[in-house]
Chains A and B, each alone.
Chain A
């Protein structure tokens, strides 16, 4: 994750971008829990909405991988394919974790 480049793309200072990333980690973590809970409860709508939120926020921050992973989840949830989400959800979790680690470093 090249924070300098990502923040420049948005016309922001690096520390402003870091704040956004932190905000993303905080709120995205909650949204991710909603995905997990939604899968457990079989609530495709909840999964879709939470994935949509992550997709949007990540996209705005230029975190294309995260956004893409969330998009896959959103699309599958929309088609009610909750059973096929395992890998995508694990991938998303890993990507968010990675950002968390890199941002924390």
Chain B
């Protein structure tokens, strides 16, 4: 039994041993396979591999590691990897390596290796700590990245070169703008001077052509500059308060000369809910409208050009203004409508030949509109006309002008409008109704006198008439003629005209009390009517004997009308001319330059209603400032403020200026603040007379 038992025991042990052996064998095979796999990977891998124990000795490196550093196995196990780093970086990198090891952190860095600077190679070394009972070891990889580094360097260089090129291009454009504009200013400036030198008719004609061409070229250059600014992303927008209504009127005034003598009615329609002030960039806003409106006369021979400003939508803080500019011109074919807003495109190549232009204007408009949170687009029918739309998102402003209240003197007064253009009548009717006046509107001149007589007979006489001068059938002058002596108490009469010449004398002789250029500016009309009707007792006599009354063409200018302030600058030095023009222009004033005292007197006398203030240099050739001022006062221009610009800040200078009839003076060098103070003092704050 025992033997049997013993044998059994033995067999069991042998079995167990065999099993154990089998296990060991399998483990050995597995280990061998694993080792084989590891070796295979380690030897075929593209990376160099290394292992370092907690004492810093290298335990293992693969063949690739040795190849990368160009060393033998023994060298690789006896020399730390950072000993192969390029000499100039060696200490720093060894330091960082040591620091990482001390803190048991990962290390990862691009390193230059080899001591031959001509053949610098780059490796990326990455090592991480591995923690075990025996302590911390580091295993790491070394990757040759020389090719990648070179590519990176090349890319970097290429990028730098590209950036430098781009900067150079911007700089070039900035320089060119200056380089081109300077001689252009010279050409235009000296052409102006040439025109002053007593040329005969032919010479003057040629010279004027040079001037016009120069100005056209300057506009074009500005277009191109704007375009490149947009391209370069350098376009900046301001956020300042401005009056959109006033701005549109100003643009109308600017564009009106382009219509010339063509039978075109320029209509300006501002919706009542357009606020008196909005916040945005008035220059850019104006640029778009000027461009769109400026195109219309080019393509329209007759009919009307209408600007309509309305509020499309509003939120608590923002306001979407929608401007439409419609004309009765040649129109644009349907398939070209989109293309007109693309850069360098016009509806037709022949268009540019016939009508000129860069083909940049509308593209700039569209971009500007987009940048203002809006858009531009067009509708058109060939032969019927086009409608251009412009929307922009502007901010509401906290600073609000006093609400548009019409003078109390207008409420309830009866007004007659005679104009053959239905659109103009409609706008006037609305303006007048908003001022709480009672409006009678006629589409021609013939019925004016009978209507007035009838109204008087019915005990409801008309107080004031707005008569278009250019009506067919019976024009405004004829209407005035037919009114002579027809009524015991004739109404006040305001002439409306789109003609460029404001023939004040002719209107006055015909019996008109005032004159309004079309499109009629609501504030100006309301103001003029207020003044006429506010005069109280109607002392109107027969115009033929009328001596006491003067035409009310001189507008009183309120703060809000700043942009309409027009300044005559008498100054002979081109530098000072340009400086003053820039300064005043930037502040929104309109400036006309006279090159000496004589010209100042001529320019002012030719259109006294046009100027609100004269800045007069004291020392000028031909006729100095004092003499010019004396002349102007002698000619009866006693109202216009004249401010002397004097370099001689000596005592007595002021007295001399005042004695010559000037109102005030500023000293040179000219300071902006001084100049603006004078404008504020003599124009903006002058109480309504």
Contacts and interface: CB of A to CB of B under 8 A. Distances in A.
Interface stretch (A59-67, A85-93, A94-102): A59-67
Contacts of B177: 15
Nearest to A55: B647
B619 interface: yes
Q: Interface size class for chain A?
A: 20 to 34
A49 B624 CA distance: 13
A49 B174 CA distance: 36
B670 A19 contact: no
A19 B222 CA distance: 14
A18 interface: yes
B672 A10 contact: yes
B573 interface: yes
B668 interface: yes
Contact of B579 (A18, A26, A60): A60
B582 A23 contact: no
Interface stretch (B93-101, B146-154, B181-189, B562-570): B181-189
A40 interface: no
A15 B578 CA distance: 13
A67 B669 contact: yes
A57 interface: yes
Interface string B638-675: 00000000010000000000000000000011101000
B581 to A, nearest CB: 10
B174 A11 contact: no
Contacts of A84: none
A15 B582 CA distance: 12
A87 B601 CA distance: 41
Interface in A37-67: 49, 52-53, 55-57, 59-62, 67
A27 B574 contact: yes
B669 A59 contact: yes
B167 interface: no
Contacts of B582: 12, 16, 20
Contact of B186 (A26, A28, A59): A26
A24 interface: yes
Given A16-B582, A20-B579, A27 B573 contact: yes
Nearest to B617: A56
Contact of B178 (A11, A19, A24, A26): A19
B669 A19 contact: no
B118 interface: no
* Size band of the interface chain B makes with A: 20 to 34
Specify the main secondary structure of chain A where it touches its partner: helix
A57 B647 CA distance: 10
B544 to A, nearest CB: 52
Interface in B534-561: none
B172 to A, nearest CB: 13
Interface string B521-542: 0000000000000000000000
B79 interface: no
A60 B669 contact: yes
Contacts of B182: 18-19, 22-23
Contacts of A56: 573, 576, 647, 668-669
A51 to B, nearest CB: 11
A55 B672 CA distance: 18
A11 B672 contact: yes
B589 to A, nearest CB: 13
B672 A61 contact: no
Contacts of B178: 15, 18-19, 22
Among A12, A18, A53, A60, residue most surrounded by chain B Cβ atoms (within 10 Å): A60
A15 B647 contact: no
B635 interface: no
B575 A23 contact: yes
Given A10-B579, A19-B182, A60 B670 contact: yes
B586 interface: yes
A15 B174 contact: yes
A24 B669 CA distance: 14
B330 interface: no
B583 interface: yes
B83 to A, nearest CB: 52
B619 A57 contact: no
A23 B574 contact: yes
A23 B578 contact: yes
Contacts of A27: 573-575
Nearest to B672: A11
With most chain B CB atoms within 10 A of its CB, the pick from A11, A23, A55 is A23
Interface in A1-43: 10-12, 15-16, 18-20, 22-24, 26-28
B573 A57 contact: yes
B573 A10 contact: no
Given A15-B177, A52-B647, A53-B573, A20 B672 contact: no
Residue with the highest number of chain B CB atoms closer than 10 Å, among A26, A28, A67: A26
**For the complex of A and B, 3 pairs with smallest distance between CB atoms:** A59-B669, A57-B575, A60-B669
10 contacts: A20-B578, A23-B182, A23-B575, A27-B575, A52-B619, A53-B573, A57-B576, A60-B668, A61-B669, A67-B669
Interface of B: 174, 177-178, 181-182, 185-186, 189, 572-576, 578-579, 582-583, 586, 619, 647, 668-670, 672
